[in-house]
Amino acid sequence: MTELETLQKWLDESRRGVFFGGAGVSTESGVPDFRSVDGLYNQSYDYPPETIISHSFFLRDPEAFYRFYKEKMLYLDARPNTAHKRLTQLEAANRLAAVVTQNIDGLHQAAGSKTVYELHGSVHRNYCMKCHKSFDAAYVKRAQGVPRCDVCGGLVKPDVVLYEEPLDGDVMEKAVAAIAGADLLIVGGTSLAVYPAAGLINYYRGHRLVLINKTPTPYDSRADLILTGKIGALLEQIRV
């Protein structure tokens, strides 16, 4: 039985599967991967990206933050790809119980997935730090320079987890519960190098841990099944 046939069998038998994904799921939609060879972390800016997208830098120099954020992190024209769509179909067929994602682009929801836990927040939610009014991503994108609240003039912040900020406790709790209760865990498009997100795999208690990635990960030795390649092309071959 090939790796793909094994994955098909496990998905056919699954009732509480969970998909845990990273940047590699969105790169096929044209959203850049921060940590790939040609990703943002290997380009040159006045400051390292880790510095620019930190909480303290955001407060200190919101203008420089938003220049980088709008150009490199706000991809509102991106559309769901084959992987997003297949995961939505698997959820609708009661094979997947949840999607846990490190991505902030909202493409899983755009594809139709219902239960999505966004570990690092979403570019589509923004709020005034002063009066807490909510704004969509288009408002941020349209703003000249730093987006300000149209009610009180306060600084508008994306609801994304910046460096130096903790992950949302409620989202983490639900993601942990989903993974702990899963009968199949598929991890795709992530190098599993970003913590605490990568550590969520440790909550899985089953014996059907599937890793799908273009390159090796630190968890390969623990996987029950490894598929190497583009996640969209592989999932496209799965029957729902």
Active site residues: 120
Q: How far is residue 82 CA from its own chain's centroid?
A: 16
Q: Count CB-CB contacts under 10 A for residue 202.
A: 12
